[in-house]
């Protein structure tokens, strides 16, 4: 369990909608990472109006639970940040597992003059090998364009507040918008923003099981041809629909 007796140096914020299945593994790995790294951290799970046992699972696993009734990833992230007590915020997805290496790298980066950033990504249990090149391309683009994936994004709290947090008008791709704004602000403040040189964080490839390849292609084409699609809830269905 994290040391909650001391003022936290790191607030880990996990937005969660109907995540009772994968959240236990994520939180177990996070507790191990906190203990092994020695980082004084608090864990906040934002229950984004789930209709399963997400809140109970998170509480039983030692996390602080915040309820956010407005359905939206940006809203959930901001709600968690508003309750955070640390100077550094780390946003994780509910199916993303980290270890002590990642937490230690975040702390060293901020102490070394970073305003924020991300980490490489690895998807586990992908249904078809054809998806692997897509992850490789994303990691290349993330490094080249300084884009942090929403599954692992850290930021100095004062910079997050200065930007007004995530844009709650965006239903999908909110972390891309956030990364660009944060990178600009960091440069003005003489700080760095980028992708850490760490092993990849591991997120599940569950969407490769939930949706057919043609649906993935459809989503990609939608956002390539209509970059502001993330501002429309209906066009962002890929992030808000689950199989029965």
On whether the CB atoms of residues 27 and 36 are closer than 8 A, the answer is no
On whether the CB atoms of residues 84 and 4 are closer than 8 A, the answer is no
Output the pLDDT for position 7: 87
Q: What is the largest CA-CA distance in the chain?
A: 50
**For residue 180, how many other CB atoms are within 10 A of its CB?**
14
3-state secondary structure of 36: helix
On whether the CB atoms of residues 189 and 158 are closer than 8 A, the answer is no
Query: What angle (nearest 5°) sits at the alpha carbon of residue 98, between those of residues 33 and 9?
Result: 55
CATH of 10-206, one of 3.40.640.10, 3.40.50.300, 2.120.10.30, 3.90.550.10: 3.90.550.10
User: Cα separation of 146 and 28, whole Å?
Assistant: 29
**For residue 1, how many other CB atoms are within 10 A of its CB?**
9
3-state secondary structure of 213: helix
- pLDDT less than 50: residues of the chain: 1-5
Output the pLDDT for position 231: 96
Which residue is associated with the tokens 């939608």?
A: 222
In DSSP notation, 135-158 reads: HHHHHHHHHHHT---TTEEEEEHH
User: Cα separation of 75 and 168, whole Å?
Assistant: 6
| Model confidence pLDDT, tens digit, residues 127-173 | 877 788 889 999 999 999 999 999 999 999 999 999 999 999 999 99
Output the pLDDT for position 6: 67
Which residue is associated with the tokens 């914020």?
A: 13
Alpha-carbon distances of 43 from 30, 48, 88, 187, 207, rounded to whole Å: 9, 16, 12, 29, 25
The candidate with the shortest Cα–Cα distance to 194, out of 161, 156, 145, is 145
Domain ranges for the chain: 10-206
């Amino acid at each position: 369990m994290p040391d909650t007796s001391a003022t936290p140096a790191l607030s880990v914020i996990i937005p969660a909608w109907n995540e009772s299945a994968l959240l236990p593994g994520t939180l177990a790995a996070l507790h191990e990472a906190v203990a092994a790294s020695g980082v004084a951290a608090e864990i906040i799970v934002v229950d984004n109006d789930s209709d399963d046992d997400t809140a109970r699972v998170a509480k039983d696993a030692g996390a602080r639970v915040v309820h956010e009734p407005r359905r939206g990833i940006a809203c959930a992230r901001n709600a968690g940040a508003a309750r955070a007590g640390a100077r550094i915020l780390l946003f994780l997805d509910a199916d993303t597992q980290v270890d002590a290496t990642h937490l230690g790298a975040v702390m060293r980066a901020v102490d070394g003059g970073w305003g924020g950033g991300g980490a490489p990504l690895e998807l586990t249990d992908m249904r078809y090998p054809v998806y692997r090149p897509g992850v490789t391309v994303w990691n290349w683009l993330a490094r080249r364009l300084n884009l942090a994936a929403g599954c692992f994004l850290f930021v100095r709290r004062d910079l997050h507040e200065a930007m007004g947090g995530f844009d709650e008008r965006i239903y999908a791709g909110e972390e891309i918008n956030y990364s660009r704004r944060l990178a600009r602000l960091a440069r003005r403040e003489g700080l760095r923003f980028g992708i850490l040189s760490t092993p990849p964080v591991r997120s599940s490839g569950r969407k490769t099981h939930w949706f057919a390849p043609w649906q993935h292609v459809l989503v990609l084409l939608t956002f390539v041809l209509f970059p502001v699609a993330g501002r429309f809830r209906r066009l962002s269905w890929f992030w808000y629909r689950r199989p029965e």
